[in-house]
Chains A and B, each alone.
Chain A
Amino acid sequence: MSAGLWQQSWRRLRRNRPALAGASLLLLMIVLALLTPWIVPFGYEQQNLHLGATPPSPEHWLGTDVLGRDMLTRILYGGRLSLTVGFIATALALIIGVSYGAVAGYLGGVVDALMMRVVDILYALPIMIFIILLMVLFGRSLLLLFLAIGAVEWMTMARIVRAQVQSLRRQEFVEAAVAIGLPPGRIIAQHIIPNTLGPVIIYATLTIPSVMLLEAFLSFLGLGVQPPQSSWGLLISQGVETMEEYPWLLIYPGIALASTLLALNFLGDGLRDALDPKSAED
């Protein structure tokens, strides 16, 4: 994609109000998550058992939980963790998927057939069940969570990139690069991958919310992030236990999760419309 096309896409994106609103909310969330340890007045494990669960007050803006911990602090720390999982696992999927897809698509022939057959078989496996199995068997560590989620999400990315690369390979600028004797690794890295960025960006933006949902789902079942750490899924599951007496313990983390997912989805849809005008016509 040339600079002119990027500019056109940017102009289309700027006109898309839901996408811009999503991007702004997301940016705010990221800044808050980065600054959390310096802006919150309480520690995320700091308890005040005399206080117990209290509704929102001037001192505790979003109230406190059953152990007297400040909810705003816990939600901010939870967001930090949920966003980290979302971005790192997506980045992992991106690196594996893009390089795998680019190599398969560029080399073609037997190597390509073999590599894509592996993806087909992995695709047919019920991956969610295996992630749960992994978390059950090998403890509930964050690192495993990143690896497990990243290991799942790369496959679609590999397929998208491979299809792109196959069509790019036959274009003149790639033939020119081959003709002047550049090694394949450099052609893939410098000429092929930059040209697949459009669909990759779109898919990555839509992968982040699905990864965050997966983390929240596992934490909700008790298989993900463990207390006293905090993540949105964990906060929601703790909120459910006491929702009859203290509904705000469920509602605030719920709003945080749902609004972030909404922002990411709006941004993803907007990017798709902006970078891939064909799909925006209808």
Chain B
Amino acid sequence: MLRFILGRLLQAIPVLLVVITLTFFLVHSVPGGPFDADRAVSPAVMKALNSYYRLDLPILQQYLGYLGDLARGDLGPSFKYPGRGVGEMIAAGLPATAELGFYALMVALVIGLSSGVIAGLRPNSAQDYVPMGLAMIGICMPAFLLGPLLVLVFGIGLEWVPVSGWGGMPGDKVLPSLTLGAGYAAYIARLSRGGMLEVLSQDYMRTARAKGLAPWQVVIKHGLRGGLIPVVAFLGPAFAGLLTGSFVVETLFQIPGLGRFYVEAAFNRDYTMIMGSTILFAGAIIVFNLAADVLASLLDPRVHQQSGGGQ
């Protein structure tokens, strides 16, 4: 098990290096300097700016310098907001994004798992069709459409919850979390239904029933463990989706998080901020994928034995 985790961590290092290198050279291959569009500045100031941001050095030296800074945890200064570091800006946005992502994941897991299990227990009945129909709609309803519709109905029409903000008014976290989590709830419902169907037809389920366990005990103790495997395998990609989804949700609901900062940085052409966030997002996705794989192998020993780990 430990060897499996270590092996996967080692594999993550070259991937991360590829991400950093690709991001750096993509950003630096854009024609024109970052200050070209601004109002004209004197050559002396330009020179100072270029040397402050290390733009006067050969590209390879810039790259190695950036790698060195990264290794020390320094993401460099922002292009757009002089005097502010990228690390500092990311630290300011991280709490809101992490909280939003956590709530959305809870929404997705609670709604998705319960409706998937309920549907899987009685396939091809109303108990199956209703949640699966809703799940189908959830898959076809992207966050940027669902969010505004929820705001229109519950924020503007019924006035139950605030229409934007984060932590300023009671209940303002409800709509963003629902908007971000709904699509994943739909996927999880479909996956856990499939998982349940497969598990319920296994012999050990019949054994569990035969030894006299109550039906709910059979489902919770034996069914859920196997039914969860496809869901856990989905959590890695789901995390990547939640992250990009937060771009939309944070912009829609004006949440001061990383997603909104990233979109703003994109429009402001704040290259150092874009680079820093891209690397951070990529690293987070890689780490979360690893965590999901480890969790999957804990639930189902077959997974990592097949992939060559083993004890």
- What residues make up the interface of A, taking CB atoms closer than 8 Å to B? 121, 124-126, 128-130, 132-134, 136-138, 209, 213, 216-217, 220-223, 233, 236-237, 239-240, 243-244, 247, 250-251, 254, 257-259, 261-262, 265-266, 282
Contacts and interface: CB of A to CB of B under 8 A. Distances in A.
Given A217-B142, A250-B152, 8 more contacts: A126-B19, A128-B241, A223-B266, A244-B152, A254-B149, A262-B136, A265-B139, A282-B123
B15 A221 contact: no
A267 to B, nearest CB: 12
Contacts, number: 107
B59 to A, nearest CB: 16
Contacts of A136: 266, 269, 274
A133 B25 CA distance: 12
B282 A129 contact: yes
A137 B152 contact: no
A223 B141 CA distance: 20
Contacts of A233: 144
5 contacts: A125-B15, A216-B142, A221-B247, A237-B144, A250-B149
Interface in B229-245: 240-241, 243-244
Nearest to B19: A125
Contacts of B281: 126, 129
A137 B244 contact: no
B140 A133 contact: no
A133 B23 contact: yes
Given A125-B18, A247-B152, A282-B123, A221 B240 contact: no
Measured as residues with beta carbon below 8 angstroms from the partner, the interface class of chain B is 35 or more
A250 B18 CA distance: 40
Nearest to B282: A126
A268 B254 CA distance: 36
B263 A221 contact: yes
Contacts of B252: 240
Given A129-B278, A243-B152, A282-B197, A124 B286 contact: yes
B248 interface: yes
A138 B266 contact: no
Contacts of A239: 148
B49 interface: no
A270 B14 CA distance: 41
Contact of A138 (B12, B30, B140, B274): B30
A126 B285 contact: yes
B26 A236 contact: no
Nearest to B123: A282
A99 B260 CA distance: 39
Contacts of A259: 140
A134 B26 contact: yes
B52 interface: no
A220 B136 contact: no
B198 interface: yes
B267 interface: yes
A128 B244 contact: yes
Given A217-B248, A220-B248, A265-B139, A126 B240 contact: yes
Contact of A121 (B18, B267, B285): B18
When A and B form their complex, which 8 residue pairs have the shortest distance between CB atoms, in order from nearest? A261-B140, A136-B266, A126-B285, A220-B144, A262-B140, A124-B15, A126-B282, A240-B148
B297 interface: no
B152 A236 contact: no
Nearest to B141: A258
Given A128-B240, A128-B244, A132-B244, A137 B145 contact: no
B57 interface: no
B251 interface: yes
B22 A130 contact: yes
A259 B139 CA distance: 11
Nearest to B27: A137
Most chain B CB within 10 A, of A129, A213, A217, is at A129
B46 interface: no
Nearest to B190: A269
B137 interface: yes
Contacts of B144: 216-217, 220, 233, 236-237, 240
B148 A250 contact: yes
B178 to A, nearest CB: 17
A129 B286 CA distance: 13
A254 B240 contact: no
Contact of B156 (A209, A223, A244, A262): A244
A236 B152 CA distance: 14
